[in-house]
Structure formats: structure tokens, C-alpha cells
Amino acid sequence: MGEAVGISFRSPARENRRREFSLLDPDGQSIAFFTEDKLKRVPAGGGLPQTICNLTPARAALPGDGGTWNASGVIVFSTGPGSPLMRVLAGGGPPTPVTTFDASAGEVRQSWPQFLPDGRHVIYFAENSNPDKSAIYVQELGSRQRSLVMRNHLHAAWSPPGYLLFAREGTLFAQRMDAKTFQLSGEPVAIVQEVTSNDSNGRSAFAVSGNGVLVYRGGTTAQRYRQLAWYSREGKRLGEIGQPGDYFSVRLSPDEKSAALVVGPPPLDTWIMNLETGVLARLTNVGKGLSGSAWIGPWSPDSQRLGVNLANSAGILEVTAASGNTRELTKGIYTDDWLPDGSMLCRNYSGQEVMILGRDPGGARTINSTPYTRGEFRLAPNGKFVAYNSLESGSRQVFVASFPSFDEKRQVSLAGGINPAWRKDGKELFFVAVDGTLMSADIDTSRKIEAGTPHPLFRIPARNEQVFTYSPAGDGKRFLVIDRDQAQPAQMMVVVNWTADLK
């Protein structure tokens, strides 16, 4: 078969922004890649990057979900949940839609496009809020019609001499597929076991080239074993809580007796840990009727209820912590915080619209709109100000603004920041810098918003961008932190002439 190798892509030295996906042109002369707000290209042998097109703020905040480049110089790429695939000329220009997006049928994402050999047809994955309706489709450039290839929870890829590769339950299969009729024939053949996959977003860690090389990441999921622990402001580890687990995100309850945790492996669920005993109790169960992963939302001010966000804007749940009783509040938006009057502070997927959701189930009213992406809204304890991260400057920075007007605002971070959280008296704001360092800034809102120069506290051990892996105690003297990531790095496997095994 093959042997394990280390594979990495070093982006151009002059480009210091985050990369999420890259693709090679058919001649192997150029590489296209995403930054936070642009699609760019650079000569494969080195040189200055050139901008192909700007990305919308919504797309800029999302992880790369694939792209493809044909011999005619057309690039097709994913624009994330809620949007169609887009096309753009590799030489530059405005992107235009390739597909239509059927949200009314439960479609939530179109991703992982790939040109078939004729360079006109694109095969792609359409994720649905009902996983059983997720599917692989083929669509011709310029056409509004698409052809169903197969139903599958994960993306697929076409490979010469005529196979569709797809994963199910950690196993990679190959099945005959005619690239002209898009029809499958014969029975699927298992070619690799234990391929890393994630049913919550349709991703499966494999790629195949036109010359018979298959690359995949081993392991059904990247299992993590992390420990929940208290840390001091100086970064001293004060003590462990509970047993190690596959923890992704944490949020301390207002009474500091419990912590909500997102626990894997995917699809993810929200659990609650009793901080006195370390006992975990499941709050949601994605495997029983919920769509996608269930992420932590806000605690109610009395610590009795928790807002839970279902992946891909599938809905907001209100869950009673003690009993687990659940009611669905709304669909299509996320909740970030709980207002003192019992309503919720919410946003749409891109964060361009900020909303208030009242206590009665139903629609939310928009209170603020911007053309750029924002997220992680956290209300100050007095409810008159809100902290959040924003892409308005081109990179994520932490801001504080007056609430609910947003008329006055002040940038707090200086060199990038995410994950803002308040001290209980509202006079200090914490956030995580680009390098994973927990930062602190004094805040004075007595007359207008004043922010002191941020200073470092300590490095977050298990930093994960856009996921809270820390939660401050009310007095700001200690922090609940997810640390000690004991995951073994998954191996990248390369199989040359993979089709020989089919014979």
C-alpha cells in the first residue's frame, strides 16, 4: 500500500494571514489559496501573491470547504453554509454563482467541488439539515439543473480511470462512475479503513490525484483527551476537575458551580460538569433527532437554563440544566448571550445582523446590521455594553460597543483577538490573541468607552480558533481552562497506484 509521511504546505512568506485551503492549477504552475478576505494565487516556484477576488465577510470567516481549477482558467469554490458554489476567472474578476441554493429543502451547505474531466461539469457535496438527504450532485457550468449521483453524509471525489471515492463510517470506498452520464455501476469496494471523517460538516480527510495517488488521514476521528483545570492569572495550574475527555469548548455558569462543555467525538454534544464532584451529565443527544452538532450557547443569569446552538443554524434550544427538558426557540440564527430580562442576544451565521429574541418562541428582531462579519457577542454585566470580535479591519479584532445602539465603539485588541469575556464587575475584559495568549485589558465605561493597553496573562494550552477553551471566574483571579491535549497526531498516508488493489 503506502507509508506514512509528513505533508505540509508553506504559504508565501509575505502573506502572514491564515490559510484555510489551497489548490494547484492544472499545469502545476500556480497555487490558489484563501486568506481571511481574499482568494489569491502565487507562482508554485515562489513569487508575489496576486489577488483573484475579494471574499464576502461571511465567507471570510469560514473554514475552506474546497475549490477546483480547470484548464480553461476557471476556479469554482465553496462559499460556506447558506450560499451556492461560486466561479471566478483565475486571472481575476468578480465571482458569480455556479449553483442555486435550496434552503427550503433543508440544504445548509454546498462544498468540495471538483471538475470532471471535461472541465465543464462540477461534482460537489450538498449537505442537508437531515443527514439522510445529504447528497453528491453533478452540475454543468451555466446550467440550473443538477444530477443526483448518490446520497451520502460525506463529500466524494472522482478519480481516473472512472471511480467515485467516498467515505462511510470511517471506511473509504470506490465505486465505478461514468464521468459522462454520472451513473454509478457495480458494488462499492472498500479500499481504506479508519479514514478521519466528520459527519457534522461532511468532511472526510482524503484526496486523490489524476495520476493514481491517494492521500488520506488515518483515524476515524481525531480523538482528544483533554483535562479541565483551574489556572491563576499568572498561568499557574491550580488543580484538575473531573476526568480527561474529548473537550472542545467550555462556559462557566454564573454561579460558578457548573461548567457547560462541548464534548466529542463529532457530532458534538453539550454536557454539564458539576465542578464540585467532576461528574459529567449529557445535556443534548445529537444522535436522537437533532441536526448536526450541539454547541454551547449562553447560561441564563440564574444558572438554571442553557442556550444551545445547533450546527448550520439548525436552531436554538433552551435546555433546563437540572432536568434536561428542552424546547426549541427558533431556527436560522445563533444565540451568544442572555439578557437580564430573559430575552437572548442573537446573530445570523455571518454576524452581520444582531438580533434580540424574546421569551416567546418565534421571530427575532434585528437591532444592528453591518456589511462585515462579527461574532462571539458578550454583554457587559450592566447590560449597557457588548464585547465581540469583528472583521471590519480585515482581521479579527476585539471591540466593545454601546448596547443596544452600537453608536459608540472602541477597539480593544491591538494585533488580533477572539473569545472576549468580561470580569463580573465589567471593569476588565479578557480575550485570546492570535498566538493563543490570554490577554487582559482594563475597561472604563463611566463616561465613554475607554480601554487600557492589553497585557498578556498566560498561554491557553489547548487553543482552538473561534472556540472558547477558557472561561473566567467572576473575580478574574482564576480561569477554567481546557488543557493537556494528549491526542496522538494522525498520520498522513500516501498510496501510489491505488487502483491496483481493486484488481
Cβ-based neighbour number of residue 238 at 10 Å: 11
Please, what sign has the CA dihedral across residues 180, 183, 185, 191? positive
Do residues 385 and 434 lie in contact, with contact meaning Cβ atoms separated by under 8 Å? no
What's the whole-number average pLDDT of the chain?
86
Q: Which residue has the cell 498578556?
A: 456
The 10s digit of each residue's pLDDT in 359-401 is 765 678 999 999 988 999 999 999 999 999 998 887 899 999 9
- pLDDT exceeds 70 at position 410: yes
- Residue 336: per-residue pLDDT: 96
Rounded to 5 degrees, what are φ and ψ at 282?
Answer: -70, 135
The 10s digit of each residue's pLDDT in 177-214 is 999 999 999 999 998 888 888 766 778 889 898 888 89
Between CA 55 and CA 485 the distance in angstroms is 33
Three-state SS annotation for 148-201: EEEECCCCEEEECCCEEEEEECCEEEEEEECCCCCCEEEEEEEEECCECEECCC
- Residue 64: per-residue pLDDT: 59
Strand ranges (DSSP E) for 275-325? Answer: 280-282, 294-299, 305-310, 315-320
- pLDDT exceeds 60 at position 10: no
Q: Of 176-190, 233-247, 281-295, 361-375, which range is least confident?
A: 281-295
- Residue 102: per-residue pLDDT: 83
Domains detected in the chain: 2-221+489-502 (2.120.10.30), 226-483 (2.120.10.30)
Q: Of 9-23, 182-196, 303-317, 343-357, which range is least confident?
A: 9-23
Between CA 406 and CA 239 the distance in angstroms is 40
User: What is the pTM for the complete model shown?
Assistant: 0.67
Between CA 230 and CA 236 the distance in angstroms is 9
- pLDDT exceeds 90 at position 9: no
Average pLDDT over residues 431-439: 93
Between CA 167 and CA 156 the distance in angstroms is 7
Categorize the per-residue pLDDT at 489 as very low, low, confident or very high, splitting at 50, 70 and 90: low
Between CA 432 and CA 250 the distance in angstroms is 14
Do residues 267 and 248 lie in contact, with contact meaning Cβ atoms separated by under 8 Å? no
- Residue 159: per-residue pLDDT: 93
- Residue 485: per-residue pLDDT: 63
Q: Of 61-70, 73-82, 465-474, which range is least confident?
A: 61-70
Cell of 283: 445535556
The 10s digit of each residue's pLDDT in 109-164 is 899 999 999 999 999 999 887 778 899 999 999 999 999 999 998 999 999 999 99
Angle at 297 between CA 295 and CA 302, to 5 degrees: 140
With pLDDT > 70 as the criterion, what percentage of the chain qualifies? 87
Q: Of 186-190, 224-228, 305-309, 410-414, which range is least confident?
A: 224-228
Categorize the per-residue pLDDT at 490 as very low, low, confident or very high, splitting at 50, 70 and 90: low
- Residue 80: per-residue pLDDT: 76
Rounded to 5 degrees, what are φ and ψ at 423?
Answer: -75, 155
- Residue 237: per-residue pLDDT: 94
Cell of 154: 460525506
